[in-house]
Amino acid sequence: MATLQTKSAARLMMAPAVIALLIWMIVPLSMTLYFSTLNYNLFNPAQTPFIGLTNYRFFLTDPAFFTALTNTLKLVAGVLAITVTGGILLALLLDQDFYGVNIVRLLVIAPFFVMPTVAALVWKNMMMNPVYGTIGQFLNWIGIGAIDWFSAYPLTSIVIIVAWQWLPFATLILLTALQSLSEDQKEAAEMDGAGPVSVFWHITLPHMARAITVVILIQTIFLLSIFAEIYVTTSGGPGLQTTNLTYLVYSQALLQFDVGGASAGGIVAVVLANIVAFFLVRIIGKNLDA
C-alpha cells in the first residue's frame, strides 16, 4: 500500500539512475546524429559545413559498407549456428548424471570469463598458427596437414574464436531451461513408447524454444558489436575480409578522422541493433510481471 509519501520517495530514488541513463542515451546519440549531417574531418575541425544526408549516401554506397555488412551478418550467423547447436548438445550432456559433472560444467563455462583480447591472441598464435599452433600440429600428426587459418579463412577464424567465447553462455542458459523440464512428462512419453530422439524432438526442444530465442536475440546484440577480437588479430584485414560494421566505423572515425562519415555509419549500426532489440524487448516485456 504505497502512500503518497513513499511514492514521491520512490520517484526520487529512481531519478538518479533514470537521469544518468537518459543523458547517456540522448546526448551522445543526438550528437552522432548531428555529426552525421556535417562534413566534419578532424584534420580540418574549423570548417564543418552542413551537408544533409550526403554522408549517408557516401557510407551506404561505399563498397566497404556492403562488405562490412555482409561480414557482420556472416559473423553473427556463423557464431549463432555454432553456439546454438553446440549449446543444445552441451546442455543435454551436462543434464546427464555422470562422475564429475560439476567439474566438467566449470570447464565448459570457463571460456566466457576469458577476456576477448586474451582469447583472440591465444587462439591466433597458440592454436591456429600453422607452424607452432596446436591445431596445426595435430592436423599434421593425423596426416591432413596444417592450415594457415588466418590467411586462408580469416573470417572463419574469427567466427571460431568468438563462438568459443559464447558457447558457455548458450550452454548455461539452455541448461537452465532444460533443468526446469519435469521428468514426469518425459517419463510419460517414454512409457507411451517414445524413443529418446522422439522425446527430444517433441518434448525437450519445444520446451527450450523460448530459451533458444532469448539466446539468439541476446547474442545477436553482442555479436553485432564484436570489436576487440578483430582489433588484435587482423585489424579488419586482409583487405576488408574481416571488417565488420563496428570495425568500419571505428577505422573511419579514429584512423581516418572522418567524423561525419563515421557518424552516419554509427547511426546505421544503431538502426540495425534496434531491429533486433525490438523483438527482444517484447519477449522480455511479456515475461515481466511488474
Partner 1 sequence: MARAVSTRRKITMTIIGWSIGLLIFFPVMWTILTSFKSELDAIATPPKWFFFNWTLENYQTVHARSDYFRFMMNSVYLAVGSTALGLLFAIPAAWAMAFSPTKRTKDILLWMLSTKMLPAVGVLIPIYLMFRNWGLLDSHVGLIVVLFLINLPIMVWMLYTYFKEIPGEILEAARMDGASLTKEIVYVLTPMSVPGIASTVLLCIILAWNEAFWTLNLTTSNAAPLTAFIASYSSPQGNFYAKLSAASTLAIAPILILGWFSQKQLVRGLTFGAVK
Q: Segment 133-152, which members bind partner 1 (CB under 8 A)?
A: 134, 137, 141
7 binding partner 1? (CB under 8 A): yes
Q: How far is CA 74 from CA 10, 134, 183, 193, in A?
A: 46, 26, 38, 41
Per DSSP, 111 falls in state G
255 binding partner 1? (CB under 8 A): no
Instruction: Name the grid cell of 67.
Output: 562488405
Residue given cell 591445431 in the structure block: 135
10 binding partner 1? (CB under 8 A): yes
245 binding partner 1? (CB under 8 A): yes
Residue given cell 573470417 in the structure block: 155
205 binding partner 1? (CB under 8 A): no
Dist. CA 193–CA 133, nearest whole Å: 49
Please say whether the beta carbons of 122 and 157 come within 8 A: no
Region from 48-56, 77-85, 129-137, 192-200 binding partner 1, contact rule CB under 8 A: 129-137
Closer to partner 1 at the Cβ: 126 or 152?
126
Site for partner 1 in 149-168 (CB under 8 A): 164, 167
Tell which one of 82, 172, 216, 240 touches partner 1 (CB under 8 A): 172
Closer to partner 1 at the Cβ: 94 or 155?
94
Q: Which long-range contacts (CB under 8 A, 24 or more apart) does 24-32 make?
A: 29/270, 32/263, 32/266, 32/267, 32/270
The least CB distance from residue 123 to partner 1, in Å, is 6
Closer to partner 1 at the Cβ: 1 or 46?
1
40: left (phi over 0), alpha (psi -120 to 50) or beta: beta
108 binding partner 1? (CB under 8 A): yes
Tell which one of 116, 148, 153, 194 touches partner 1 (CB under 8 A): 116
259 binding partner 1? (CB under 8 A): yes
Strand partners, 50: 38
The least CB distance from residue 52 to partner 1, in Å, is 18
x/- track of binding to partner 1 for residues 260-289 (CB under 8 A): --xx-xxx-xx-xxx-xx--xx-xxx-xx-
Please say whether the beta carbons of 229 and 158 come within 8 A: yes
What type of residue is 95?
D
Site for partner 1 in 25-64 (CB under 8 A): 25, 27-29, 31-32, 35
Tell which one of 46, 106, 191, 197 touches partner 1 (CB under 8 A): 106
Please say whether the beta carbons of 234 and 58 come within 8 A: no
